[in-house]
Chain A
Amino acid sequence: MSISSDTETRGWWHRNQMQLAPWLFLAPGIAFFALYVIYPIFQSFNISFYRWDGLGEPVPVGFENYRQLLDDRAFYVSLRNNVKWLLLYLLAIPGGLFIALFLNQQMRGMRLYKSLFFFPFVISQVVVGLVFAWFYNPAIGLWNPLIGLFGFSPMNVLGNPNTVTYGIIAAGLWPQIAYCMILYLTGLNAVDPEQVEAARLDGAKGWKMLWYVILPQLKPATFIAVVVTVIGALRSFDMISVMTNGGPFGSSRVLAYYMFEVSLSEYGFRMGYGAAIAVVLFLIMLVYIAFFLWRMWREERGS
């Protein structure tokens, strides 16, 4: 037997097959990811240093667009709204958890209840936005008669700069809670009944059982729920577009919507300025993405 001579004669392909095969399988994905994600990111960086209406010749302006951002009131309003979205949207996680705990029991017709709770996630965000816009409508909506029952005076939720963002977030929470609920329901299936049994023998129940026994086992589900909720909050675009168009007078804009408005809407086409906003949004997301990747890497190494 001459193994060594065998490998020598089998050629380059056979020698490197093991290393090459994964790259070949990944190649189409990498190619498209590079073309449609990586390349545009650098393109946006580049465009943000120009003044360009999308038609004529781009004029290089250096950091002018970023300087303008610094004293643009609309930019700060959008940024503040982004923070509100990020914080309040996280309410979807405990919301989803408690509904999941509530629904995680054996009972006749439970599947029907589960699907009813899951329903808002199935319908499109645009439809949710429309439904809530009608719900809040001060002339025909159900919201004012509803709060009237509790003695509150009528309010114009989507037309008032102080309430509009909360109104939209509430609409966004409805499907997001359903999404988190599903994640936790599947997570609860994986909870080890023996551990629950053991904890019960040790006298744990109620909140203690939840906090020390159930929740640690739901950690993977919680992690995914946080990830999708943060992403959902940062791309909160469609609801704002459908419900208010960023109004009244720009008080419900977030960065993603402001970027769209500046560069692609009816009165927009300031591509450079829009790209500058996109870059800022990208850098904010980068912090979060970096944390996410770092955590994944740490867990992979740990296991």
Chain B
Amino acid sequence: MRFTLKSAAATLALTTALAMPASAELTGNLRIFFNDQNPAPKEAMEGMVERFQAMHPDLNIELTLIDREANKTQIRNYLTANAPDVNGWYAGNRMRPYVNAGLFEDVSDLWDGPMGEELASTRPALTLDGKQWGVPYSYYQWGIYYRQDIFEELGLSVPTTWEEEKANCQVILDSGRKCYTIGTRFLWTAGGWFDYLNLRTHGYDFHMALTAGEIEWTDDRVRETFAKWRELIDMGAFIDDHTAYTWQEAQPFLVNGEATAYLMGNFLVAPLREAGLTDDQLGFYQFPEITPGIPMAEDAPTDTLHIPAQAQNKEAARAFLQYVASAENQTIVNDVLGQLPINRNASVADDKFIQAGFEMLSNATGGIAQFFDRDTDAEMASAGMEGFQEFMVLPDNLDDILNRLEQVRQRVIAQ
């Protein structure tokens, strides 16, 4: 009896020791600046911190939540003065200014271990100059969210090719509705349309070369992409006056059935459910094929955590990032967020749209893009998205727009 108790205690001690590796004695302060104050991300982050705290009771963790938009300018201040130990940011070219200025810590050592294998799908997105600069905790799919009930009413089926997409749209227009709702007031929504039209017309490699500034904007292939876009614009497929609406203000058109589809990220689902759409009314499909035979590539923006180069407690920060990347944590966090885990051993929430997204991204043989404004240089992104909005209103200005974009591209690559 005594003997068994003792061995049980020993086993317990052994397992805890295994669960908490050498870094178990982490002490000091760990300051985390997280870039989202919305309820779900807040809950997810607080949960992460709580579990990590339980593993390292001697560590004093201090979590600061910063508004998502405010963080985009504040990051420049806090990375250069009084840096936290961990901060939230985005993958892709969006890391470039901070990597170039030497403000992000190189965390390639974390990626060299088994963690790198588990997160393999996003390794390219976190790699700049051959090194990794952060760890992802979540991503989400983009695609077409549509009114399943209206499609049924009109006898439409989910399109898989461009011709079917346009044929469907014609039926929808004839029924007195618009095909797509969109609000371009803050420009980025138009970036989603460009990404998909370009990815489907010319494939991932061309798109990435274009966003990296290696291809001229006046190239004929770029014009082909815009020609596809113009087919929809000329049909009158998009809602009127979209320049006046934000992406939220464009939602009622879908909810009221005045428009039948919305090209958007998965974060659209929560507000639509709140607005009263049931899972029987709302469906999801992958953006259809345009050029046959091109492997399907998707937009899936990745949210990441980084260690500032001036962090005080890098040991604890590394241990935290390692925990963030673990399958156990990513399962819990993404369940709360309603998004997709990156760790391939994590399990996916039982939700219609998350399952669909997981399925789609697992089969994205073409590649995974971040998003127009995260893949391009900042100056190019702002000029590009402004051009897309102008094109959607005044498609005849295309030559003028492309010349302007080419001018910006040349200035950016010259620097």
The yes or no verdict on A and B being binding partners is: yes
Contacts of B381 in A (CB 8 A): 267
Q: Does A187 contact B (CB under 8 A)?
A: no
Min CB gap A60→B, angstroms? 13
Q: Is the CB of B389 within 8 A of A248?
A: yes
Chain A contact patch, size range: 20 to 34
List residues of B (71-92) whose CB comes within 8 Å of A's CBs.
Answer: 72-73, 76, 80
- Closest B residue by C-beta to A137: B244
Q: Is the CB of B241 within 8 A of A138?
A: yes
A interface residue numbers (CB < 8 A to B)? 51, 53-56, 68, 73, 136-139, 156, 158-161, 244-245, 247-250, 261, 264-270
Distance in angstroms between the alpha carbons of A53 and B80 in the assembled complex: 13
7 pairs of residues in contact across A and B, judged by CB atoms under 8 Å: A55-B103, A56-B101, A137-B249, A139-B245, A249-B390, A267-B382, A268-B378
Q: Does B162 contact A (CB under 8 A)?
A: no
Q: Mark B380-392, 1 if CB is under 8 A from A, else 0.
A: 0110001101100
Q: Which of A54, A245, A249, A250 is most buried by chain B, counting CB atoms within 10 A of its CB?
A: A249
Contacts of B97 in A (CB 8 A): 53, 55-56, 269
Q: Does B379 contact A (CB under 8 A)?
A: yes
Min CB gap B345→A, angstroms? 35
Contacts of A53 in B (CB 8 A): 97, 101
Distance in angstroms between the alpha carbons of A73 and B103 in the assembled complex: 34
Q: Is the CB of B241 within 8 A of A159?
A: yes
Min CB gap B252→A, angstroms? 7
B interface residue numbers (CB < 8 A to A)? 69, 72-73, 76, 80, 97-98, 100-101, 103, 184-187, 240-245, 249, 252, 373, 378-379, 381-382, 386-387, 389-390, 393, 404, 411, 415
Answer whether A250 and B386 are a contact pair too, CB < 8 Å, given A138-B244, A159-B244, A269-B378. yes
Answer whether A55 and B76 are a contact pair too, CB < 8 Å, given A247-B389, A268-B378, A270-B379. yes
Q: Is the CB of B186 within 8 A of A245?
A: yes
Contacts of A160 in B (CB 8 A): 243
Q: Is the CB of A247 within 8 A of B243?
A: yes
Q: Is the CB of B100 within 8 A of A56?
A: yes
Contacts of B80 in A (CB 8 A): 55
Min CB gap A114→B, angstroms? 35
Q: Is the CB of A55 within 8 A of B378?
A: no
Min CB gap B48→A, angstroms? 26
- Closest A residue by C-beta to B77: A54
Contacts of B186 in A (CB 8 A): 245
Interface of B is mostly: helix
Q: Is the CB of A247 within 8 A of B187?
A: yes
Q: Which 4 A-B pairs have the closest CB atoms?
A: A159-B243, A267-B382, A159-B244, A249-B390
Contacts of A156 in B (CB 8 A): 240-241, 243-244
Min CB gap B134→A, angstroms? 17
Min CB gap A294→B, angstroms? 40
Q: Is the CB of A73 within 8 A of B404?
A: yes
Min CB gap B184→A, angstroms? 8
Contacts of A245 in B (CB 8 A): 185-186
Q: Is the CB of A158 within 8 A of B389?
A: no
Contacts of A266 in B (CB 8 A): 69, 72-73, 378, 382
- Closest B residue by C-beta to A56: B101
Contacts of B184 in A (CB 8 A): 248
Distance in angstroms between the alpha carbons of A240 and B346 in the assembled complex: 46
Answer whether A159 and B379 are a contact pair too, CB < 8 Å, given A55-B76, A245-B186, A249-B389. no
Contacts of B101 in A (CB 8 A): 53, 55-56
Distance in angstroms between the alpha carbons of A160 and B72 in the assembled complex: 29
- Closest A residue by C-beta to B389: A249
Distance in angstroms between the alpha carbons of A56 and B76 in the assembled complex: 11
Distance in angstroms between the alpha carbons of A137 and B241 in the assembled complex: 9
- Closest A residue by C-beta to B252: A139
Q: Which of A68, A158, A161, A247 is most buried by chain B, counting CB atoms within 10 A of its CB?
A: A247
Contacts of A54 in B (CB 8 A): 76
Q: Which of B76, B244, B381 is most buried by chain A, counting CB atoms within 10 A of its CB?
A: B244
Starting from the known contacts A55-B100, A137-B244, 6 additional A-B residue pairs (CB-CB under 8 Å) come to A56-B97, A158-B244, A161-B393, A247-B243, A247-B389, A248-B389
Q: Is the CB of A55 within 8 A of B387?
A: no
- Closest B residue by C-beta to A141: B244
Contacts of B411 in A (CB 8 A): 68
Min CB gap B387→A, angstroms? 7
Q: Is the CB of B378 within 8 A of A248?
A: no
Q: Is the CB of B98 within 8 A of A55?
A: yes
Contacts of A73 in B (CB 8 A): 404
Distance in angstroms between the alpha carbons of A79 and B85 in the assembled complex: 44
Min CB gap B383→A, angstroms? 9
Q: Is the CB of A249 within 8 A of B245?
A: no
Distance in angstroms between the alpha carbons of A136 and B244 in the assembled complex: 9
Q: Which of A53, A136, A248 is most buried by chain B, counting CB atoms within 10 A of its CB?
A: A248
- Closest A residue by C-beta to B186: A245
- Closest B residue by C-beta to A160: B243
Distance in angstroms between the alpha carbons of A269 and B76 in the assembled complex: 10
Min CB gap B103→A, angstroms? 7
Q: Is the CB of A51 within 8 A of B415?
A: yes
A247 interface neighbour in B100, B185, B241, Cβ under 8 Å: B185
Distance in angstroms between the alpha carbons of A269 and B72 in the assembled complex: 11
Contacts of B243 in A (CB 8 A): 156, 158-160, 247-248
Contacts of A244 in B (CB 8 A): 185
Contacts of A247 in B (CB 8 A): 185, 187, 243, 386, 389
Distance in angstroms between the alpha carbons of A261 and B383 in the assembled complex: 11
- Closest A residue by C-beta to B382: A267
Contacts of B378 in A (CB 8 A): 266-269
Distance in angstroms between the alpha carbons of A244 and B76 in the assembled complex: 26
Contacts of B249 in A (CB 8 A): 137, 139
